Amino acid sequence: MADCPSDNTKLFGRAIVLEVADGCPDVFPQESEWKALAAGTSKGFDFSPNSVTSDADDTKGYVENIVTNADFTINFEGEVRKNDKLDQYGVGRLIKNFNTAIQSALQPTVWVRMEFGPVTFIGYMLINALSSDGGTNDIITFSTEFKVAAADTIQILDTNDVVSVTGVTIMPATTSIAAGATRQLTATVLPADATDKSGIWKTSDTTKATVNSTGLITGVAAGSATITFTSSDGAFTGTTAITVTAS
């Protein structure tokens, strides 16, 4: 038998990825909050389009005006493990959160993100189905379905090779300058191949030190201030403590 490399991602469900994040519909999750739901076996979507006849001038034998609506759903099947992996949201957490919402007379909802070939679906969804099947010693699987809960959150984006930001550091971490002097700070957006490395510089006290859009600080008066860089992607922050001395 030839000793060929194998792609074990398919075997262990790593190739079937659906991500979820807790939260409310008015706040989009940060990148660090998204977690793979579980080791998946299948996923899919259904727009469930429905064309409704509306009032129209159909004197030529055809209805000339119709209204199309949709009842968007995402479905996912995965493997149940005795212990959910730490880097996954986990079916146990999904079940417990579902029960907590029902017991509190709330809708069991969650943010859902799923890549599907050239597009990626994102939206705030209702947990519409949640069931499991399997024997005592067999591999147990679970099935769940998510139905749109907040229509204005549904996005369908192009799936590109986008590398999301995971953190920000600033060098130097602390520095001292004289009033009237300048010093350049450097913000490093992680990982090194992050797609969007842009961000905004701010100072905590403009009477002590200012900072421009490139990270150049200027001492104003003796005292201290904190300079912050916030990444556009994910809103990750890095800070530097500035001490300004008299000139």
At 36-79, the pLDDT tens digits run 999 888 999 999 998 877 665 665 666 667 778 899 999 999 98
pLDDT at 124 over 70: yes
Q: Are residues 114 and 142 in the same domain?
A: yes
Look at the chain and report how many structural domains it folds into: 2
Higher pLDDT, 142 or 85: 142
End residue of a domain, out of 110, 139, 158: 158
Q: Are residues 90 and 171 in the same domain?
A: no
Range of the domain at 181: 167-245
Q: Are residues 202 and 101 in the same domain?
A: no
For 95, list phi and psi in degrees, rounded to 5: -65, -45
Q: Are residues 153 and 219 in the same domain?
A: no
End residue of a domain, out of 101, 128, 158: 158
Distance CA 171, CA 186 (A): 5
In this structure, the dihedral spanned by the alpha carbons of residues 19, 107, 148 and 118, taken in order and rounded to 10 degrees, is 0
Let me know if residue 93 belongs to a domain.
yes
pLDDT at 135 over 70: no
Location of structure tokens 């010093």: 183
Q: Are residues 24 and 118 in the same domain?
A: yes
Let me know if residue 4 belongs to a domain.
no
User: CB–CB of 205/190 below 8 Å?
Assistant: no
The neighbouring-strand residues paired with 217 are 183, 211
Q: Could you give the C-alpha distances from 7 to 16, 19, 206, in angstroms and in order? A: 13, 21, 55
| Per-residue pLDDT tens digits for 191-237 | 877 777 889 999 999 999 999 999 999 999 999 999 999 998 888 99
Under the banding of pLDDT at 50, 70 and 90, the label for residue 17 is confident
